[in-house]
């Protein structure tokens, strides 16, 4: 490892280029994460420039007090704890990288800790409402069959929005009933495809060529296409799913509500927590455990309704 060389730390742009190259090539972060980190660092630089004049300081002159001042500024701006924690993670990642490369002599982010946040119970949709949503697309059109396949895939596999938007044709394995998913950090996993999802996907693939005719690009590997024959964007998927969920869901229209429902329904039916963790692509079991709260509440209701000693009047008699 090279010794600390202070002459290398005065060019912020150069350091940023090196840092994002590292995130993209070695950490294999997604374009979405890279964009989020870029926005967070830009906001941090704006704060530094307004309060300390960014042209007169180098990264090695950043102190813990400066970082705490920035976080205090975010609290005054009424940012949610979850948003501040993401910015803290970004700062820690950036300064950890600079310190590990000996581009700074001290790591000012080493003493930063995430704020405590209240774990929210994920919003879900019951199975009857999901069936209603699946019946809404016009299956006489290629767009309708595509939309139905998207909803089936979200609920049938529990994959993330970004994962679904990045799916390619060759990710599908109908013979073995699997789909290869590239998750966070480009970690790949195989997720089972149910019969209903396979059936819906095959119907869409039968008419996918109708959409492909509308573009001059004939070798489009993306699984889901828009009406112009180009890959359907992340935002486009969100809009299409929201179009149908607005009629059946009071908890929200984000596609991740289908992911939450997938996990909750599996646990309600007795699925193993570790198995659900693997299906969801979570790196930590604690992340998956948030879904057990929903299942526990359901068990409590069943107990109150069914157990002869659950009723307080019965107990006192």
Q: Would you name the residues annotated as active-site residues?
A: 160, 184, 256, 259, 282, 291
Enter the DSSP assignment of 34: H
Round to whole Å and give the CA distance between 59 and 108.
Answer: 10
Enter the DSSP assignment of 104: S
H or E element that contains 273: helix 273-280
DSSP string, 295-313: HHHHHHHHHHHH-TT-SHH
Cross-sheet strand order for the sheet of 188-192: 172-173, 178-182, 188-192
- Bridge-partner residues for 188, per DSSP? 182
Distance of CA 317 to the CA centre of its chain: 52
Q: Which pair of structure tokens corresponds to residue 234? A: 């992340």
Ranges of beta strands (E only) in the chain are 172-173, 178-182, 188-192
Q: How many residues does the chain have?
A: 317
CB 81 within 8 A of CB 125: no
Round to whole Å and give the CA distance between 122 and 115.
Answer: 20
């Amino acid at each position: 490892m090279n010794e600390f060389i202070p002459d290398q730390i005065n060019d912020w742009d150069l350091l940023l280029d090196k840092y994002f190259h590292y995130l993209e090539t070695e950490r294999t972060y997604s374009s979405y994460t890279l964009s989020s980190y870029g926005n967070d660092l830009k906001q941090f630089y704006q704060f530094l420039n307004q309060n300390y004049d960014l042209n007169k300081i180098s990264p090695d002159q950043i102190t813990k007090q400066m970082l705490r001042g920035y976080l205090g500024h975010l609290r005054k701006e009424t940012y949610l704890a979850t948003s501040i924690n993401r910015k803290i993670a970004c700062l820690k990642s950036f300064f950890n990288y600079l310190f590990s490369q000996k581009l700074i002599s001290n790591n000012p982010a080493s003493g930063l800790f995430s704020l405590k946040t209240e774990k929210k119970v994920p919003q879900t949709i019951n199975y009857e409402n999901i069936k209603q949503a699946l019946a809404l697309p016009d299956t006489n059109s290629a767009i309708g069959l595509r939309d139905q396949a998207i909803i089936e895939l979200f609920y049938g596999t529990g994959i993330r929005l970004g994962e679904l938007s990045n799916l390619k044709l060759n990710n599908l394995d109908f013979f073995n009933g699997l789909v290869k998913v590239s998750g966070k950090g480009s970690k790949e996993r195989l997720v089972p495809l149910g019969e209903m999802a396979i059936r819906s996907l095959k119907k869409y693939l039968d008419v996918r060529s109708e959409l492909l005719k509308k573009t001059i690009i004939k070798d489009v590997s993306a699984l889901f296409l828009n009406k112009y024959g180009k890959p359907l964007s992340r935002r486009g998927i969100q809009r299409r799913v929201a179009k149908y969920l607005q009629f059946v869901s009071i908890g929200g229209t984000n596609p991740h509500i289908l992911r939450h429902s997938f996990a909750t329904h599996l646990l309600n039916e007795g699925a193993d927590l570790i198995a659900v963790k693997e299906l969801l692509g979570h790196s930590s079991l604690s992340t998956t455990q948030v879904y057990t709260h929903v299942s526990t509440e359901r068990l409590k209701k069943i107990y109150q309704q069914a157990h002869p000693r659950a009723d307080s009047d019965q107990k006192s008699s």
